[in-house]
């Protein structure tokens, strides 16, 4: 069997690192064609020397020049590319069969669209591609003949609980009545509400169950991550947000569930390790070694479930409202959230200020029909500018106080 060629977009992040671990455990099945990163020169250099891809891409041009020099010093025969063009090129190479889409945020949209146009198997860990441009993205998947498989642990769990013939984005699954999307509740599920304003970035990034990047960790703490996942689920499983119920499950053992019309509820369980959904998508419909410890269900002891508190987690409500508004509202939601989270991580916005910036931006930026990529990107840019002005105003008010 000829090894499948793989491009990993966002190779130095947690998903990229886990993907390379699974690939290394199955060397006869996969070969790394291209690895990409934003500015992590040291990280990508180590990965290039270990996995010997044909291409390496840095989104930052200066970083690409430094990486190229260091690879030459190591006598490594790897072509270094830079910027958006480089990312799109390695997402569409003829020798690439599979693209792991793990670039966080809106920056991952264009290369994932290129992978869809090129008919690749897309392992989607970048939920923002669907949140920003769901209809256009799904159209590109269908027209390009691409196969779209969800890597997010919750959506992968839903996929595993669907009928065997179901393919994401290919219509509604027969017999399914509801999707139960689980959420850990993050690190502040039980924190008194009056203490949330003083939460630090370090506290927000200390997830109790999962090892994730900083931005996604903050999204988990605000439950915006779950709100974005509701929107993603609607596109992947051809359903409406009213049929997707978010359930708090602190143990993160049940990754999600699917309820059927006959009363059955199917659940996917496992240790909280992203190598499981990554391996599932890489080998689908087969199963391969992922290096994940088997679940000790007796050791787990108990599984708890509860409804989310929308007062504690207003970002979940905002995401549901953006889905109902339709059009460019989801793109505006995502852009405002990225600006607000970045400001919080930089110490320029309180944790409780994140939903305020998002809500103000959603109210200010009018909703348009998301008919073209240009309209979506314009809404994204205007939302970022307005959200930035809201952050600046909040920061100045806090300084004066």
How does pLDDT run across 27-37, given as a tens digit for each residue?
999 999 999 99
**326-401 matches 4-150 in CATH topology:** no
Cis peptide before 399 (omega within 30 of 0): no
401 pLDDT more than 70: no
Take residue 294 and report the two structure tokens written for it: 């088997």
d(CA 48, CA 214): 24
Quickly list H helices, 145-212.
Answer: 153-161, 201-204
In terms of CATH architecture, what is 326-401? Orthogonal Bundle (1.10)
- pLDDT-derived band at 206, boundaries 50, 70, 90: confident
Q: Where are the domains of the chain?
A: 4-150, 326-401
Mean pLDDT calculated for residue range 78-82:
96
d(CA 262, CA 239): 18
Mean pLDDT calculated for residue range 63-77:
92
Element (H, E) at 37: strand 30-37
How does pLDDT run across 345-387, given as a tens digit for each residue?
999 999 999 999 999 999 999 999 998 999 999 999 999 999 9
One DSSP character per residue, 38-70 reads SS-HHHHHHHHHHH--SEEEESSHHHHHHHHHH
Take residue 389 and report the two structure tokens written for it: 């002005």
Q: Check if the beta carbon of residue 11 is closer than 8 Å to that of residue 35.
A: yes
Give the residues across from 124 on adjacent strands. Answer: 101, 150
SS3 state of residue 272 = coil
Mean pLDDT calculated for residue range 314-325:
96
Q: Check if the beta carbon of residue 25 is closer than 8 Å to that of residue 50.
A: no
- pLDDT-derived band at 126, boundaries 50, 70, 90: confident
399 pLDDT more than 50: no
Q: What is the CA radius of gyration of the chain?
A: 21
- Residue 396: the pLDDT is 54
- Residue 208: the pLDDT is 73
Q: Check if the beta carbon of residue 106 is closer than 8 Å to that of residue 217.
A: no
Mean pLDDT calculated for residue range 317-331:
96
d(CA 185, CA 308): 8
Least confident of 13-27, 160-174, 213-227: 160-174
List, in order, residues 6 or more apart from 386 with CB less than 8 Å away. Answer: 336, 360, 361, 364, 365
- pLDDT-derived band at 168, boundaries 50, 70, 90: confident
64 pLDDT more than 50: yes
Take residue 210 and report the two structure tokens written for it: 């999962």
- For 323, other C-beta atoms within 10 Å of its C-beta total 23
d(CA 398, CA 401): 5
Residue among 298, 300, 299, 318 at smallest CA distance from 308: 318
105 pLDDT more than 90: no
Take residue 42 and report the two structure tokens written for it: 């040291």
Handedness of CA 4, 9, 13, 15 (dihedral sign): negative
- pLDDT-derived band at 211, boundaries 50, 70, 90: low
- pLDDT-derived band at 395, boundaries 50, 70, 90: low
- Residue 363: the pLDDT is 97
- pLDDT-derived band at 397, boundaries 50, 70, 90: low
How does pLDDT run across 141-156, given as a tens digit for each residue?
999 999 999 999 999 9
Terminal CA-CA length for the chain: 66
CATH of domain 4-150: 3.40.50.720
List, in order, residues 6 or more apart from 399 with CB less than 8 Å away. Answer: none
- Residue 107: the pLDDT is 83
């Amino acid at each position: 069997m000829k090894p499948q060629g793989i491009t990993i977009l966002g190779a130095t992040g947690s998903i990229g690192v886990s993907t390379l671990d699974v690939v290394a455990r199955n060397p006869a099945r996969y070969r790394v064609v291209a690895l990409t990163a934003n500015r992590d020169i040291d990280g990508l250099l180590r990965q290039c020397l270990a996995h010997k891809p044909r291409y390496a891409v840095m989104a930052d041009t200066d970083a690409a020049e430094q990486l190229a020099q260091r690879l030459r010093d190591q006598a490594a025969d790897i072509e270094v590319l830079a910027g958006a063009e480089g990312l799109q090129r390695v997402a569409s190479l003829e020798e690439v069969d599979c693209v792991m889409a793990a670039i966080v945020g809106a920056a991952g949209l264009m290369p994932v669209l290129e992978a869809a146009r090129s008919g690749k198997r897309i392992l989607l860990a970048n939920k923002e591609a669907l949140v920003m441009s769901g209809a256009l993205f799904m159209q590109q998947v269908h027209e390009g003949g691409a196969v779209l498989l969800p890597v997010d642990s919750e959506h992968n769990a839903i996929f595993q609980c669907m009928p065997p013939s179901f393919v994401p984005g290919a219509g509604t699954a027969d017999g399914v009545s509801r999707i139960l999307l689980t959420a850990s509740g993050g690190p502040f599920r039980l924190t008194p509400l009056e203490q949330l304003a003083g939460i630090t970035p370090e506290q927000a990034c200390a997830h109790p169950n999962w090892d994730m990047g900083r931005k996604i960790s903050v999204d988990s703490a605000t439950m915006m991550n779950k709100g974005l996942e509701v929107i993603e689920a609607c596109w992947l499983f051809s359903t409406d947000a009213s049929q997707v119920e978010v359930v708090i499950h602190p143990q993160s053992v049940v990754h999600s569930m699917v309820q059927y019309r006959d009363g059955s509820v199917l659940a996917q369980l496992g240790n909280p390790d992203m190598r499981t959904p990554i391996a599932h998508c890489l080998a689908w419909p087969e199963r391969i070694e992922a290096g994940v410890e088997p679940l000790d269900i007796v050791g787990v002891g108990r599984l708890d479930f509860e409804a989310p508190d929308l007062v504690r987690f207003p970002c979940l409500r905002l995401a549901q409202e953006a889905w109902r508004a339709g059009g460019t509202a989801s793109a505006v939601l995502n852009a405002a959230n990225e600006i607000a989270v970045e400001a919080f991580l930089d110490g320029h916005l309180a944790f409780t200020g994140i939903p305020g910036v998002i809500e103000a931006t959603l109210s200010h930026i009018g909703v348009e029909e998301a008919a073209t990529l240009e309209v979506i990107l314009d809404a994204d840019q205007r939302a970022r500018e307005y959200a930035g002005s809201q952050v600046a105003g909040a920061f100045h008010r806090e300084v004066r106080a």
